[in-house]
Amino acid sequence: MSDTKSGSQTVDRYAVFELLSNGHRHRLLTTLLEEGSTTAIPPSDDAGPEADPESVRLALYHIHLPKLEDAGLIEWDRDRNQVSKGPKFRTVVDLLGRLDETDSDTVEA
């Protein structure tokens, strides 16, 4: 399988696509890219008016943040409720930039 970069700082390209396919994870990584090296974890009510804030918070803390941390894309400080760029964050920078250039959640066929 191909990696996004060679060497020890690699993330499998298919794993990256899976990680970025979720809006919460994509939004968090984009925020890190735009704001710098560390950011506060966004509030759960940032998911939209139809979302249940408690469900979003639980999913963020029990699914999304652990997945990003396991992939090495973030480092998660649970005590400070902050995330910072992980050792493999650079592997997704170009892809995040390209995805955000479209400024849309849909792609024309």
The predicted structure's pLDDT at residue 68 = 95
Residue 1 has pLDDT above 60, yes or no: no
> What are the phi and psi torsion angles at 14 (to 5°)?
-70, -35
Q: What is the mean pLDDT of the chain?
A: 80
**pTM of the model as a whole:** 0.76
Q: What single string gives the DSSP state of each residue in 49-107? A: TTS-HHHHHHHIIIIIHHHHHHTTSEEEETTTTEEEE-TTTHHHHHHHHHHHHS-SS--
Q: Where are the domains of the chain?
A: 13-100
pLDDT tens-digit profile of 3-30?
444 445 667 888 888 998 888 898 899 8
Q: What percent of the chain has pLDDT over 90?
A: 33
How many whole angstroms separate alpha carbon 14 and alpha carbon 9?
Answer: 15
How many whole angstroms separate alpha carbon 10 and alpha carbon 72?
Answer: 9
The predicted structure's pLDDT at residue 89 = 92
> What are the phi and psi torsion angles at 75 (to 5°)?
-115, 130
Does the domain at 13-100 match CATH 1.10.10? Answer given as yes
